[in-house]
Amino acid sequence: MSSAARPPAFLPNWPARLAWLALAAYALYAASILDITWDRFVLGLENGVRFVGRMLPPDTAADKMALMMRGLYETLEIAVLSSALGILLSLPIGLLAARNLMPAWVTWPMRLLIALCRSFHQVIIAILFVKAVGFGALAGILALTVASIGFIAKLFAEAIEEISLKQVEAIRATGAPFMNVISYGVMPQVLARFIGFATYQFDSNLRNSTMVGIVGAGGIGGTMFAAFQKFDYDYLLTILLAIIAMIMVSEALQNRIKKLYQ
Amino acid sequence: MAESSGPATAAPALVIRGLSKEYRRGVPVLRNVSIEFPGRGITAVIGPSGTGKSTLIRCINRLVEPTAGEILFHGVDLARLRGRALREMRRRIGMVFQEYNLVERLTVMENLLSGRLGYVSPLKAWLRRYPREDVNAAWELLDAVGLAQFANQRADALSGGQRQRVGIARAVMQRPELLLADEPTSSLDPKTSVEIMELLVRLTDSRGIPVILNIHNVPLAKRFAAHVIGMTGGTVIYDGPPGGLSDDDLKRIYGGEDWLE
Amino acid sequence: MTTAAIDREWRRYTPRQRLARFALYFGLVLACVVSLRTVQVIPEFLYDAPEQMADLFKRMWPIAWSFYPSGVHDALIETLHIATLGTLLAIVMALPLGLLAANNIAPNAAVNYFAKLLLVSSRSVNSLVWALLFVAIFGPGALAGTMAIAFRSIGFVGKLFGEALEEARPGPIEALRAAGAPWPSIYLKGYWPQVEPAFWAIALFRWDISVRESAVLGLVGAGGIGMAINAAMDLFQWERVALMLVAIFGVVIVAEVVVTFIRKRIL
């Protein structure tokens, strides 16, 4: 058996190690910049315990519950309408933005539009719409529609760019018109994913519609913010729990529907 | 070049004149190819990989754009058509692909009926409302290829050979006047390849559809084709019956001796 | 070819499926119609909207570029720190939770359910609401913002991480168990190599979203550029607001470029 030197079995992965070290160093640096010290944290925890104490038990007075239910219902409306509008608009926009189907002079403006829709947080868009169309649910609906387009159309376009063009080629070879090629060659490959994006976005809209109210765009966010400012922390807890419950129910429903559609 | 001799008193299925294709400037894949394809039976195009067989086939239905030349199909130059006219011509030409190119998430029946997409309006197609005759024809074809029990199964649940059968049926559903086949057996095992070729012959013969077939398996070509075109380096160097293919011809087409039996 | 062919029917979906699909479409349309009819939208505001928006954009022009160094730059950097630190914290907390939420790894169903519950709650509460809560606990400032991002992101990262774990191929795990490896080694050498690309993709994706979310946390006092936007809006200084929006847009684009670059390199 020769004992000649052999290369080591595992080479240390220096780039990865350096990256980990850099991340750790960054964490410490950022914490100091943001003025996050251990003392503040501990103080905060004490505060937190007191805070939680004031939230319990949750307030269930009848008039407050009625107000909350109305707020929740409006939230639901905002979510439903903005999702429907967003989905409807995302279909053509996403198709037009797919680089393997459309020429550059069509895809570039569409992708720019999508990028614009995505870049701004729903709350900022909501503020702008509140200024434009006034307080209330309309601002919320419009804001979340824009957000929906930014999400669904982008992922939809990416999904289309990943399809097998061979299947599309076969349909084109039969002499089918453009819409038939889309309907039989493109859509079957992406429909399942599109539905996934759409349901995810509805879920997201439901969560976000709970908070556009904070800036006046309708829904339970407004009720919640009012409770917060009035130090009505037990009512705040009730609202939070109701929101969580609503979202869980919605998730469960969506799972059933997904199973049905497979 | 031997004159095409066969039962052909029928008009040619397709006439190509001076067809050239360069994917990159100065690197022609097809050089000034001129062929008269017989109006009946299977014409096999053989030749080594990269010699432009696939390009030739795809130029016919314009899945690839020819650089120059004419493609005369029943008097119409396919190379000149665009838009709606091109589509209407494509309806009359069926195509079978090497990798079947079925829409995998659709069912077998939907794939079959998609052969009629050139004839059905987008709305009806989306609603899956096809004319009575089309549905009947689809069932008949499914029976003819022996896949009736798979009608409502997703295409990706089928084996390769089964998928190619669906691919052939889809092309025949178009009631085409010409069928193109781009290496239809190259992804299949030897036994299945023979079955597919037999199916192809059966379906197209009984319906009187001429076939232009791209194939690199010479024994299969000799066995099933009524006419053979041999290509190498983008030009045609043999145009005649399979029986006339000599070993010399094959050597010229494919080069080298080792592969000959 | 028989001439007296019997017409054979073809249906894409069984009657039961069709009924179910119809019910679904009907339900969706009904939801939309009901919402449309009961939502309180004042028509005058709707017609007025284009004019109002035009007015708003007019007030935002010209953009107050000169304000950037003094008023915007620091806030922007703070926003980035909040996003990054928050995401890092979230990853640390989400790793164990994600493990427990994967039903092929959790020791028993109760723990699995509880972990999933925690993750759902984290996701159900919006980051802005988390920010509100943490401002009440820690006082206004970047600490509240960082905690808000962290707590919101745990649910996201944990859920996707758990799903990636559930999709890991059991084969290699089986092999390691057969070789008698202890469970930390099984995780490290069996699961981790399979889910690592997905994990980094999830982390990067979440960081990208967190950058966007951090920008608005300041609206409720949790630090970052949101506070500057609030201040400017209160004073109706729309040109400065426009500047900040452009700054956010720029940062978001840079973040996307960075994410795409890193994804290409390591995935």
Average pLDDT, chain B: 88
The stretch B138-143 carries a mean pLDDT of 93
Q: What is the mean pLDDT of residues B178-191?
A: 93
Q: Report the mean per-residue pLDDT for chain C.
A: 84
CB contact under 8 Å between A34 and C78, yes or no, is: yes
CB of B226 within 8 A of CB of B240? no
Q: What tokens appear for C11 in the block?
A: 């249906």
Give partners of A (≥3 CB pairs < 8 A). B, C
pLDDT of residue A258: 72
pLDDT tens digits, residue range B220-261?
Answer: 999 999 999 999 888 899 999 998 888 888 888 887 666 665
Whether the pLDDT of residue C177 is over 90: the answer is no
**What pLDDT score was predicted for residue B208?**
92
Res. A4: pLDDT tops 60: no
Maximum mean pLDDT: which of A88-92, A229-233, A238-242, C36-40? A88-92
Interface test with C, best of A18, A28, A51, A124 (most C CBs within 10 A): A124
Which chain B residue lies closest to C14 (C-alpha atoms)? B152
Best-predicted range by mean pLDDT (A147-151, B242-246, C105-109, C235-239): A147-151
Give mean pLDDT, residues A46-75.
Answer: 85
Chain B 108-147, residues with CB within 8 Å of chain A CB atoms? 110, 114-118, 120, 122, 125-126
| Closest by Cβ to A183, choosing from B63, B97, B122 | B122
CB A117 within 8 A of CB A149: yes
- Residue C4's pLDDT band, with cuts at 50, 70 and 90, is very low
Q: How far apart are CA A146 and CA A133, in angstroms?
A: 15
Per-residue pLDDT at A14: 78
For the stretch B71-92, pLDDT in tens is: 999 889 999 888 888 888 898 9
Cα–Cα dist C50/A246, whole Å: 34
Residue C265's pLDDT band (cuts 50, 70, 90): confident
DSSP class of residue B100?
Answer: -
**Total CB pairs under 8 A between chain B and C:** 21
Which residues numbered 39-98 in A keep a CB inside 8 Å of some CB on C? 40-41, 43-45, 47-48, 51, 73-74, 76-78, 80-81, 84
Residue C2 has a pLDDT of: 43
- Per the CB < 8 A criterion, the answer to whether B7 and B244 are in contact is no
Contact list, C216 vs chain A (CB under 8 Å): 121, 123-124
Higher-pLDDT residue of B249 and B161 is B161
Q: Scan residues 91-130 of C and list those with Cβ closer than 8 Å to A.
A: 120-121, 123-126, 128-129
Residue B29 has pLDDT above 70, yes or no: yes
For chain B, say whether C8 makes contact (Cβ under 8 Å): yes
Kindly state whether B170 is in contact with chain A, defined as any CB-CB distance less than 8 angstroms.
yes
Chain C contact for A31 (CB, 8 A cutoff): yes
Structure tokens at A131: 């200024």
Query: How does residue B4 score in pLDDT terms, banded at 50, 70 and 90?
Result: very low
**Does the predicted model carry a pTM greater than 0.80?**
no
Q: Please indicate whether residue A20 or residue B142 has the higher confidence score (pLDDT).
A: B142
- Integer Cα distance of C190 and C175 in angstroms: 9
Using a CB-CB distance cutoff of 8 angstroms, which residues of chain B are in contact with residue C9?
135
pLDDT value of position B42:
93
Interface test with B, best of C2, C3, C7, C10 (most B CBs within 10 A): C10
- Class of domain C70-266 as given by CATH: mainly alpha
Which residues in chain B are closer than 8 Å to C1, comparing Cβ atoms?
140
Can you give the residue ranges of every domain in chain C? 70-266
Work out the pLDDT band at B3, boundaries 50, 70, 90: very low
All domains of chain A in start order, with CATH: 64-261 (1.10.3720.10)
CA–CA dist C191, C156 (Å, integer): 20
Q: Is the ipTM of this complex over 0.85?
A: no
Q: Do C8 and B135 touch (CB under 8 A)?
A: yes
Taking CB atoms and an 8 Å limit, are A211 and C233 in contact across chains?
A: no
Query: How many Cβ atoms are within 10 Å of C208's Cβ, its own excluded?
Result: 18
